[in-house]
Amino acid sequence: MVYYDVLGIHLDVSRLHTLGDIVRYPIQTGLLAALIVWAITRFCYHKSRNRMGYGLLSFIDKDSYCLILSVIGSGIAAVGIATIWPFFISSLYGIFRFIGYDITNPLNSFVYGVVEKILSLTNLPSLIREPFWFGEFGGSWLSTTGVNYLGDVSIWTAQSAQGIFNTGVGRFITPHFIINMFIIPAVACGVYSTITDKMERRKYIIFLIVFVLLSLLFDTSLPVEIFLIVMCPLFYIGHVFVVGLLFALLQILNIQIGYNYSGPSSLGSPGSILDLFINFRNPEIQINVLLVIAIGVVAAILYFFAIRYYYKKLGLDVMQTGRGKKVVENFIDSVGGVQNIKMINSTPTKVIVQIENRTLIDFNKLQRNGAYKIVETRAGYSVYFGTASAMIRNQVLKAVRRLKIYIKKVNKKSLLFISFNCKMNVAEGKGE
């Protein structure tokens, strides 16, 4: 789990007696190594752009200089990770031992759910799945033939082959049915529902349908959670906490549905609709399947409205410090005022605005206000604000409505004033 054969890369040191008769494998670091290399490369690129054109290495061009710095920086980072990794794994296994001490305790289930979700984000779920799915931390079961099975998935696979169910096995798998079949599709649908532009909706509807189908058939939580950690980090923190509560709740209610699998944990995809359908045909665990569906429907509804509320109310100013109001006011000023806005729509990442007079737009002010990209299209200007886009659009619409109400009141007062003057003139004989 910790040292893994990646693309067949390994080093046979059996002939080097000083190192021992073993095979060395690369450290399995998931996405962490990729993120570290990205950060190093980005730093080296900016460093090379600011490099002076004279000095000892002036004959090396900027791109080659960037490459050299990246290689050196990555080498230093590799040594650092190799030094730190054993301590990280030791700490992680301390948490595993705490969970494995009593796997029937809801608190331990909560910790397992949180840790697994965090490791899944870095593409390292096998670090926790191997010892609990196929190892002693996941429990043990001695079959009638005298074979001792270790791990939650191994026990379920062996017991289901012998027609044995409802023995408390499957506690580390059951929440995945709710996550993959209900929560992840609900998040995707919630984000899609924030798109107000009809053309954008048509563009993404096929993608949404395909993604929901894939989520029902496979474990597609990783791309959604990466999206959440980038676009809605606070929502992702809440999601991790809810997943932990889900593990604990299912343990308290004694609801378990396992997973027939015997391959590598990194390739496992528990919680699919096919597995749920197969288990539903088993009368011994039908009630568990129905309870999972009921809990999943409730979770899907809560997540759908939670993600919509986050985008519309909390996407920019969670602590209500007034920053969101300031951004909206600056946006309105940047596009020439409310009266200059012809139409405004939003997607999860951008505001699409059509305006009357294009000369009134202040692009520099838009960028200072937080817009990281501005694109002119046939539909208007696409101003990228990220998660704040839906909130900006809603607040601008409120300002437009207030302006219309104000104009309507002013016009009404003007009509009343004119009507009053006409009556006065008629009464005084000036109507002719």
Please state, in angstroms and rounded to a whole number, the distance separating the CA atoms of residues 159 and 157. 6
Angle at 395 between CA 390 and CA 396, to 5 degrees: 100
Distance from C-alpha of 330 to C-alpha of 398, rounded to nearest angstrom: 15
Q: At what angle do helices 221-231 and 106-121 cross, to 10 degrees?
A: 80
pLDDT tens sequence across 67-94:
888 999 999 998 888 888 888 888 999 9
When pLDDT is cut at 50, 70 and 90, the band that residue 57 belongs to is: low
Nearest to 211 by CA among 237, 185, 190, 232: 185
Across the range 14-35, mean pLDDT stands at 64
Other C-beta atoms closer than 10 Å to the C-beta of 181 total 25
- Over residues 294-299, mean pLDDT: 96
Runs of H (alpha helix) within 232-334? 233-252, 273-280, 286-309, 323-334
Higher pLDDT, 23 or 148: 148
Question: Half-sphere exposure of residue 263, counting CA atoms within 13 Å on the CB side?
Answer: 5
User: What are 264's two structure tokens?
Assistant: 């590598």
Listed by start position, the domains of the chain span 11-101, 106-314, 323-426
Mean pLDDT of the chain: 83
Percent of the chain with pLDDT over 70: 83
Both structure tokens of 319: 């602590």
Predicted confidence (pLDDT) per residue in 171-183, tens digit: 999 999 999 999 9
d(CA 374, CA 361): 11
Prediction pTM value:
0.82
Label each residue of 187-251 as H, E or C. Answer: HHHHHHHCCCCHHHHHHHHHHHHHHHHHHHHCCCHHHHHHHHHHHCHHHHHHHHHHHHHHHHHHH
- Predicted pLDDT at 332: 87
Amino acid 182: pLDDT: 96
Q: Is the pLDDT of residue 319 over 60?
A: no
pLDDT digits (tens, 9 = 90+) for 362-399: 888 888 888 888 888 887 899 998 888 888 888 888 88
pLDDT for 423? 45
Contact in structure between 27 and 85 (CB atoms under 8 Å):
yes
Instruction: Identify which of 46-50, 113-117, 266-270 has the greatest average pLDDT.
Output: 113-117
Q: State in Å, rounded, how far the first CA of the chain is from the last one.
A: 99
Over residues 258-281, mean pLDDT: 86
Tell me the range of 154-158, 198-202, 292-296 where mean pLDDT is highest: 292-296
- Is the model's pLDDT at 223 over the cut of 60? yes
State how far Cα 18 lies from the chain centre: 46
Q: Which pLDDT tens digit goes with each residue over 409-432?
A: 655 555 555 554 554 454 555 444
Contact of 175 with 247, CB cutoff 8 Å: yes
Q: Are 216 and 185 in contact (CB under 8 A)?
A: yes
C-alpha span between 184 and 69 (Å, rounded): 40
CATH number of 323-426: 3.30.1360.60
Which letter, b or e, does each residue of 352-391 get, where b requires 16 or more Cβ atoms within 10 Å of its Cβ?
A: bbbbeeeeebeeeebeebbbeeeeeeeebbbbbbbbbbbb
